[in-house]
Amino acid sequence: MTTIPRVKPELKVERPKLHKVLLVNDDFTPRAFVVTVLRAEFRMGDGQAQRVMMTAHQRGVCVVAVLTRELAEEKATAATEMGRKQGYPLLFTTEPEE
Ligand code: TYC
């Protein structure tokens, strides 16, 4: 007689780790331009964009969005590129969530 294992195979479906998009402060990019980029690339309203910009301005950095790694990197690159095209050092970076 054969014994049937009682252990059910585990179905392991892991959620992909989400990544933060961070806005980094600098001394050169105009505040209004940062707000324009946040509105265009992250679809924020004016109030939200102003608050995020001011948080980065005062604290050095602010979380802008939490997305899949691919989307976070795409958005950070596109937003950084908007600044670069105008000659500004505006920087968006990404980091994995804990
Ligand atoms: N510190 C900039 C200034 O005073 C404005 C600014 C805010 C730039 C946030 C970047 O991520 C930033 N003109």
Residues in contact with ligand 1 by the CB-under-6-Å rule are 23-27, 29-31, 34, 53, 56-57, 90
**Which residue's C-alpha comes closest to atom 2 of ligand 1?**
27
**Which residue's C-alpha comes closest to atom 10 of ligand 1?**
25
Using CB atoms within 10 A of its CB, is residue 37 exposed (0-12), middle (13-18) or buried (19+)?
A: buried
Q: How far apart are CA 93 and CA 62, in angstroms?
A: 10
Which CATH number does 29-96 carry?
3.30.1390.10
In tens digits, the chain (98 residues) has pLDDT values of 666 667 777 888 888 899 999 999 999 999 999 999 999 999 999 999 999 999 999 999 999 999 999 999 999 999 999 999 999 999 999 999 98
